[in-house]
Amino acid sequence: MNTISSQHHFNLSFTHLIQYRSYHKILIAGIVLFVFGIAGCDSQHDGQPDNGGLLLPDGFEAVVVADSIGRARHLAVNENGDIYVKLRAPDSEGRGLVALRDENNDRKADRIEYFGGYTDEGGYGTAMRIHDGYIYFSTAGEVYRSRLTPGELVPDSEVEVMLIDDYRNAEHGAEHIAKPVTFDNKGNMFVPFGSPGDVCQNPKRTPGLPGQDPCPQLDDHAGIWMYDADIPGQTQHDGIRYATGIRSVVAMDWNPVDEELYVVQHGRDNLHRMWPNIYSPWESAMLPSEEFMRVTENSDFGWPYCYYNQLQNKRILNPEYGGDQGTVGRCSEYEDPIIGFPGHFAPNDLHFYQGDQFPDRYRNGAFIAFHGSTIRAPYSQAGYFVAFVPFADGNPSGDWEVFANRFAVVDPIVSTRDAKHRPMGLATGPDGSLYIIDSVQGKIWRVMFTGDRDTFGDEQLAVMEQEKLTANNIRTPHEIDDHLEPEVVYGGERIYMTYCAACHQRDGEGAPPRFPPVAGTDWVTGDKQRLISVIINGLEGPIVVRGETYNFPMPQHGFLSDEDVASVATYIRQNFGNDASEVTVEEVREFRNRMENENGN
């Protein structure tokens, strides 16, 4: 059996690396008896009185299994109820996997152990799945597996590297490098390779610049690849490109009913920033759709040439390829999604429910964890909830529903950092309970049905239907009434709100781990020439801001005039709690002249 070599940041065996840290928490009784005067009967409730802060359909209850285990990604539940979690990045001792066990059947984890050692740049480690007796998990560049030992919480087997992605040396750069995994019933493993940019431009994210046509990135990116689930040491090209034209996938699952692959795609960003003459801020907040796709072999969903517009219910041309918000053109050649969700909900897990505990309408349906937007300003950030799509005979049998909300706690969510929790991963336990994990603190909810299965229906769903229509993080915002910045802004603030706020947020606090803050950092208040360079030329590669590592490319803004660069640089140096000197037009002009001389122009 091949083991992970040192160059892949693992030692040979878990037994040589595992460091145990157990948390023994005060145990709270998991069974609460509520006494009702009617008919003198008792009713047993399994959840917490407040459902751990969640709003759920009537008849469902939730209990918090564990809290604050670390910033988490996906999770899996073993057949004995043990929970395994992939952290976004290793803890201070280099351990990035977590195992949890309920040893006294009170529905709470009273044994929590951290294990495993690896590096994971930028926090893109994602996968945690159990398949054929192994846990499979991933970093940004590798997929690993380790065999579970019956009866043991932490596996003591050697770790195999199953797949290697040399994204650090990729020709087109590295973006959308999360590695979720899923498996079919024939021994195959599916892994997405996301697009290295937003819409196949060179340079990336340049307003008004046409996209490359044909797009050279499609050879190795923006698709799903299929591998043998049992062969270690594979590289991307050892697999088969199963489907293409899919920009970025984190939510993915195999449907055992129709035996097909399903994903929910992250749509493109910043339509207003890139094409303000075509898209309003409201249209940019709503579009394009987050697409729920049935992915068959050799299917093509049209990235980067097209996107799905759920407001028009059709796939249309991207403006980089001549689109004007209505033209279909070549997009009629590509496949449509089965559902088009509103833009920027950020689908980060997809899970087909096969349990027996929930009412029959949930059987074989799809749960989707919407992690939540970062770029919906000047409107409330959206997503941050778990949706459900009913299925029958392998097809959606009704509109999507809100299954669980109130993760964020705050409403409206003005900036991403305001959200207290963000749903990230989904899994079903052996008794049919649904587990949901949060990425901000690492909180795990166990959702159980305790109502009457036979009478569950529209009446029990009414509260969630109302939530879909009224919650600011879910409903369609009004273009004028829900605009959070209705006042006209000028100068550097206007440039910031147009080109910067979508990522760095309107309060300057950023959206970890993708977008760093501009508040309280020497990157902004320090060397002016470095700041000017970052604005004009962009920046790639990992940087540390306020003690946290960021590895998402900053697009170049060299298209801005000297006056605009000076204005926005001064604005961020003198706002968000910053207090630094202005950047002058002359300083920007001198920088551009020096850059042109160095480049021989």
Close Cβ partners of 268 (under 8 Å, ≥ 6 residues apart): 198, 199, 247, 288, 304, 307, 318
CATH tag for 6-470 (out of 3.40.50.10600, 3.40.50.300, 2.40.50.140, 2.120.10.30): 2.120.10.30
What is the Cα–Cα distance from 249 to 176, expressed in whole angstroms?
Answer: 8
pLDDT (0 to 100) of residue 502: 80
Backbone angles phi, psi at 13, to 5 degrees: -145, 145
Give me the pLDDT at residue 42, please: 32
What is the rounded (10 degree) CA torsion for 300, 502, 534, 213?
20
Range with top average pLDDT, 29-33, 103-107, 470-474: 470-474
pLDDT in the model for residue 122: 63
Which among 480, 197, 513 is positioned nearest to 374, based on CA atoms?
Answer: 513
3-state secondary structure 373-437: CCCCCCCCCCCCEEEEECEECCEECCCCEEEEECCCCCCCCCCHHHCCCCEEEEEECCCCCEEEE
- In whole angstroms, what is the distance from residue 517 CA to residue 507 CA? 9
pLDDT category at 18 given cuts 50, 70, 90 is very low
Phi, psi (rounded to 5 degrees) for 438? -105, 145
Burial state string for 475-496 with b = 16 or more CB within 10 A and e = fewer than 16: eebeeeebbeeeeeeeebbebb
Q: In the chain, which residues fall in CATH 2.120.10.30?
A: 6-470
pLDDT at 488 over 70: no
Peptide bond connecting 412 to the previous residue in cis, omega within 30 degrees of 0 = yes
Distance, CA of 463 to CA of 467 (rounded, Å): 6
Q: What is the pLDDT of residues 173-197, one digit of tens each?
A: 778 999 999 999 999 999 999 999 8
Euclidean distance between CA atoms 55 and 147, whole angstroms: 37
- For residue 36, pLDDT over 60 is answered with no
Which range has the worst mean pLDDT, 198-202, 230-234, 283-287, 494-498?
Answer: 494-498
pLDDT single digits (tens) 376-430:
988 999 999 999 999 998 889 999 999 999 999 999 999 898 999 999 999 999 9
For the 491-598 domain, the top CATH level (class) is mainly alpha
Q: Which residue has the tokens 């604050």?
A: 68
Q: Identify the three-state secondary structure at position 458.
A: helix
Cis-peptide, bond into residue 276, ω within 30° of zero: no
pLDDT at 7: 37
Long-range pairs for 28-34 at CB < 8 Å and ≥24 separation? Answer: 28/106, 28/108, 29/106, 30/63, 30/105, 30/106, 30/107, 30/108, 31/106
Is the confidence at residue 149, as pLDDT, over 80?
Answer: yes
Between residues 72 and 7, the one the model is more confident about: 72
- DSSP 8-state secondary structure symbol assigned to residue 539: B
pLDDT tens per residue across span 503-546: 898 889 988 878 899 999 999 999 999 999 999 998 887 889 99
C-alpha to C-alpha distance for 58 and 87, rounded to whole angstroms: 32
- What pLDDT, in 10s, does the model give residues 219-264? 999 999 999 999 999 999 999 999 999 999 999 999 999 999 999 9
Taking each continuous run of H as one helix and of E as one strand, the counts in the chain are: 10, 34
Residue 497 has pLDDT above 60, yes or no: yes
Contact by Cβ (8 Å): 536, 554: no
Can you spell out the DSSP letters for 512-536? TTTB--SSS-HHHHS-HHHHHHHHH
Mean pLDDT of 551-565: 86
Peptide bond into 513 cis (omega under 30): yes
Reply yes or no on whether the pLDDT at 199 is more than 80: yes
Q: Are β-strands 260-265 and 314-317 bridged in parallel, bridged antiparallel, or unpaired?
A: unpaired
Q: For position 127, what pLDDT does the model report?
A: 96
Answer yes or no: are the C-beta atoms of 405 and 436 closer than 8 Å: no
- Judged against a pLDDT cut of 60, whether residue 462 lies above it is answered with yes
pLDDT band (50, 70, 90) for residue 121: low
Residue 302 carries which side chain, given as an amino acid letter? Answer: G
Q: What percent of the chain has pLDDT above 90?
A: 71
Do 301 and 335 contact (CB within 8 A), yes or no? yes
Q: Does residue 563 carry a pLDDT above 50?
A: yes
Instruction: Please give the distance of CA 59 from its chain centroid, rounded to a whole number.
Output: 29
Q: Which residue has the higher pLDDT, 64 or 88?
A: 64
Contact of 565 with 589, CB cutoff 8 Å: no
Closest CA to 72 of 104, 41, 99: 99
Instruction: Report the alpha-carbon distance of residue 348 to residue 71 in Å, rounded.
Output: 14
pLDDT class of 168 with cuts at 50, 70, 90: confident
User: In angstroms, rounded to a whole number, what is the distance separating the alpha carbons of residues 435 and 83?
Assistant: 9
Which pLDDT value is given to residue 160? Answer: 96
What whole-number distance in Å separates Cα of residue 107 and Cα of residue 188? 34
Largest CA-CA distance found in the chain, in angstroms, rounded: 90
The enclosing H or E element of 235 equals strand 234-235
Task: Please provide the DSSP assignment of 21-52 as one string.
Answer: ----PPP--S-EEEE-SGGG-EEEE-S-TTGG
Tell me the three state secondary structure of residue 278. coil
